[in-house]
Amino acid sequence: MYRRLPNWVLGFHGTDATTVKKILCNPKGHLDPSENDYDWLGSGVYFWENDPERALKFAKERMKWLGIRKKPAVIGAVIDLGLCLNLFDQVALAELNSAHKDFDFDMQLLGVPMPKNEGGKDSLFRRLDCAVIEHVHRLRAKSGKVAAYQTVRSGFLEGGALYEGSGFNAKNHIQIAVRNLSCIKGYFLPRTRG
């Protein structure tokens, strides 16, 4: 009953200037969904909720890691969260936990080890979380009784302590993975501070 989030949010995607121009100049264009086995929220087009600065930092970090020599840039999007697997919601967390138990059972049955989250204290490569979230989607599709989630949303405590003794981390953020591209109502070029 409360799974549909009747609000729109602003999301920001860190990428390169060429991609931003390509999307803005093509009214039917979309960003490409990410489908890595380590994506934090499963497959989808990823956005930082209400945080263009974090999106730009991520674009710069990613380009540095991958040795990409392009101009980093940010594109904004108006997103209708629609039917959302909102991992701030207790019912969604219970569904995720149930899917984990089902997935673990399947993996044991197949004799395959469970994927693991790896990559330091922030678990940059979230293969377990990605697999479990994707399993949620498969279970919903298999049931035939419930609609598919259109978006996935969660908060993440990332980075070291903001200051000594802090309960806040330097890279805290809310991330959204848009699975159904019709939830992206439009793209825009964010204003810069000034």
pLDDT per residue as tens digits for the range 89-123: 999 999 999 999 999 999 999 999 999 999 887 88
CA distance 20 to 124: 25
Q: What are phi and psi of 134, to 5 degrees?
A: -65, -35
Determine the Cα–Cα distance for residues 75 and 52; give it in Å rounded to an integer: 8
77/29: higher pLDDT: 77
The angle at the Cα of 138, spanning 33 to 103, to the nearest 5 degrees, equals: 110
Q: What is the DSSP string of 151-194?
A: EEEEEE--SSBSSTT-SSBTT-EEEEEESSGGGEEEEEPPPPP-
The answer to whether 72 touches 61, Cβ cutoff 8 Å, is no
Report the distance separating Cα 184 and Cα 62, nearest Å.
Answer: 24
Comparing CA positions, the residue from 19, 24, 44 lying closest to residue 175 is 44
Q: Is the pLDDT of residue 143 over 70?
A: yes
Q: Say what percent of the chain tops pLDDT 70.
A: 96
